[in-house]
Structure 1
Amino acid sequence: MGGEQQKKGFSYRVLSVKEQKKMPGSVRKWINKVRTEKGVYTRRHRGGCYLVIAAGMKPNPGYRLEVSKLSKEEDGRPAMWVRETIPESGQMQPQVISYPCLVIRVKGGLPHVFRAESGNPIQYRDSDI
């Protein structure tokens, strides 16, 4: 997933599945709960802030989310652009329900989050922050 990325007063790190497994049980339980519904969720834990960007339920594991761009809004708040990739047409995929999401540790202000494909914002949902 790469190292920590920075943009003027804001930094983030997308956590790998291996890193997520090392997180405290209460945080892992929260991630598993919020990843089932589309949206952006936040949680503070021991001085850190975690962001979950969830795509909701998908019909197979061929769907993915990725951070495609960082920018700064006019109000000075960071903006994060997220792209959803879908499986190629005709590509064989197991028919297993999946819940693609990004688990991100952030430092600095919380970013506005946008869909890279449309530019539409992804709404923050009720969170434990």
Structure 2
Amino acid sequence: MFTMFPGLLLSAALTLTGVHPMPTPHPTPTVAPAEEVAPVDAQYEAVAAPYPPAVQDALSKVRKTGGHTVVRAKGKSYVVIGAGQRPTGGYQLVADQVKRTGPHGFTVSVHVKAPAPGAMKIQVISYPTLVIALPDQQAQVTVQMR
């Protein structure tokens, strides 16, 4: 009886916080991007896994070190952005604005959203990432991270 209690307590805590016991291969937003993104003047979409192979390769390169890269695949330009290592779960990269600056020019503004103070966080090192697809395969992208 007493040996089941810690497992039940852990299950209840995970259920209440919405944390899954198995980590997902890529952190996905818990809120639809439209709710956190400021009004934009360029078409784009935040992309979730599964990714094209070239995007997956780029993601594995920027995940731990941070930074960004642009991958051209399937008629689109994928902007792959990594925030680098964070001490706990709960961190997210959020697109603030995507602006068209020329015929093939785009500026993507993103910020790292930290977990709320006092919130329960999974005690695991995390690597927040974001993949944005632009409809222009020739896109010249500038990323502004704050």
TM range (shorter): 0.5 to 0.7
Once the two structures are superposed, what CA deviation does each residue of 1:36-77 show, in whole Å capped at 9, x if it has no partner? Answer: 111111112243321111101111121111111233548983
Aligned runs of 1:38-57 on 2, under 5 Å? 38-57=66-85
Once the two structures are superposed, what CA deviation does each residue of 1:3-50 show, in whole Å capped at 9, x if it has no partner? Answer: 8x973xx5321112xxx22x3445324322322111111112243321
CA RMSD of aligned residues (A): 2.9
Once the two structures are superposed, what CA deviation does each residue of 1:80-111 show, in whole Å capped at 9, x if it has no partner? Answer: 21121111222221111111011111123233
Match of 2:46 among 1, 9, 14: 14
Equivalence for 1:101: 129
Structure 1 residue runs of 4 or more that deviate by more than 4 Å after TM superposition: 72-76
> Larger Cα Rg: Structure 1 or Structure 2?
2
TM-score, normalising length: structure 1: 0.67
Report the Cα distance in structure 1 between the residues aligned to 2:126 and 2:56, rounded to whole angstroms: 17
Paired residue type of 2:46:
V
Equivalence for 1:78: 106
Report the Cα distance in structure 2 between the residues aligned to 1:46 and 1:76, rounded to whole angstroms: 17
Aligned runs of 1:107-126 on 2, under 5 Å? 107-108=135-136, 109-115=139-145, 117=146
Paired residue type of 1:69:
Q
**How many residues are paired up?**
109
Higher relative contact order (CA 8 A, sep 6+): 1
Which one has a larger percent strand, Structure 1 or Structure 2? 1
Report the Cα distance in structure 1 between the residues aligned to 2:81 and 2:144, rounded to whole angstroms: 10
Residue 124 of structure 2: SS of its match in structure 1?
coil
Equivalence for 2:8: none
TM-score, normalising length: structure 2: 0.60
Paired residue type of 1:96:
V
Percent of pairs identical after alignment?
29
Which one has a larger percent helix, Structure 1 or Structure 2? 2
Paired residue type of 1:80:
V
Shift of 1:2: 5.2
| Structure 2 unmatched ranges of 5 or more | 1-31
